[in-house]
Structure 1
C-alpha cells in the first residue's frame, strides 16, 4: 500500500487577502514611478529619470516578491489591474512630494500587513513582512532627502542632477536579504 503525502491547504486569512491587495498597490506604485520618470526624461533630466525608472523596477519586484511568497505558501494568486496614475505635474516638487506621500502610504500598508500576520498567528507571514518594514524606512528616508535637495535647489535642477550623479540614494534593489521575486528580480 503506497503512502502519499497529503497537501496541507492553508486557510484563507486576513493577512493573505491584504497581501493580494498589496500586489495591486505595488504594481500601481511601479506605474506611478514610471509616469514620474517619463516626466523627468521628457525634460532632459536623466539622473532624476533614471532614479525613478529604478524605483519603478523596485516596486515591481516588491509585487513579485509577494507573488512568490503566496505561491510558496500554496495561496492562490490573482494578478490584479492597477489604479489610475497621475501624469500631469506643474513643478518638480510636486513629483517628489507625490513620491514621498506614496512611500508613506505604502509604509502604513506594510505595517497593517505585519499587524494582520501577527493577529492571524501567521509567524511565517510576520517574518516575511520584516524585510518590507526595513525597506520602507529606506524608501521614506530617500524620498525625504530628495525632496529636501529639490527644495534647497531653488529651481536649479542641475544641482539635483549633480546630487543624484554624486550620491548613492537607496540600494537600487541590490539587497541580498530581499525575498525572492517570482520570475526573478529585474
Structure 2
C-alpha cells in the first residue's frame, strides 16, 4: 500500500525550501563571523543565534516531508555572497534575504492551495507568520542602526547598539499581539 501523502511536486519544492533554509543559516553564520571579526561581538552573537533558528526551520521542513511519507533531499550549499562592506550593508542583506525567503514561502503556499493539499497549506501557515517576524526583525535592525547614526555612527553609538543586540530577543514583536493596553 502506498502511504505517501504528498505529491512529488510538493515533496521536491519542500526539499528545495529546506535547502534554502540551510543556506539562510549559513548566511547568518557567515555574517555573524564577519561581525565578530570586526569587533561587534554582540551583533555577531545575535546573527549566530539566528543562524541556529534558520537551521531549525530547515529541520521543520525535513520532518514534515518525512511525516507525509516523502524523502527530503539535502543538496550542496553555496557559500554566502561574501562579506558585507559595513553594518548597513549587512543589515540590508539580512532584510533582502528575508524578503526573498518570504516570496519562496508564498510560492509554496500557492502550490499547496492549487493542489488542494490542505495539510501542507496548513503547515506552511506557520512559516507565513514566521516570515512576518523575520522581516520585522530585519527592519528593526536597519532602524536601530539608522537611529545610532548609520555609517557615520559614533563609536559610542555602535558600542551601545552592539551591546543591546547581543542581549536582544531573537523574536520581533508582532502587530497581532498589540491591543489597546499594549500598542
Same fold (TM over 0.5): yes
The reply to whether residue 120 of structure 1 matches residue 115 of structure 2 is: yes
TM-score, structure 1 normalization: 0.83
Contact 2:5 2:68 in 1 (8 A): yes
1:27-66 residue pairs with structure 2 within 5 A? 27-66=22-61
Of 74, 77, 80, 2:72 maps to: 77
Relative to structure 1, the CA distance from residue 63 to residue 167 in structure 2 (aligned partners, 3 Å threshold; closer, same or farther) is closer
TM-score, structure 2 normalization: 0.84
- For residues 59-117 of structure 1, what are the alpha-carbon distances to aligned partners after superposition, in whole Å with 9 as ceiling and x for unaligned? 11101110000011111221111133123222110000000000011011111111111
Counterparts of 1:163 and 1:76, CA distance in 2: 41
Q: 5+ unaligned residues in a row in structure 2: which ranges?
A: 173-183
Q: 5+ unaligned residues in a row in structure 1: which ranges?
A: 1-5, 172-186
SS at match of 1:85: coil
Relative to structure 1, the CA distance from residue 44 to residue 78 in structure 2 (aligned partners, 3 Å threshold; closer, same or farther) is same
- Between 14-23 and 57-66, report the one with greater CA deviation: 14-23
Report deviation, 1:141: 0.2
1:4-153 residue pairs with structure 2 within 5 A? 6-10=1-5, 12-153=7-148
SS at match of 2:99: helix
| Over 6 Å off, 4+ runs | none
- Between 60-69 and 78-87, report the one with greater CA deviation: 78-87
Report deviation, 1:169: 4.1
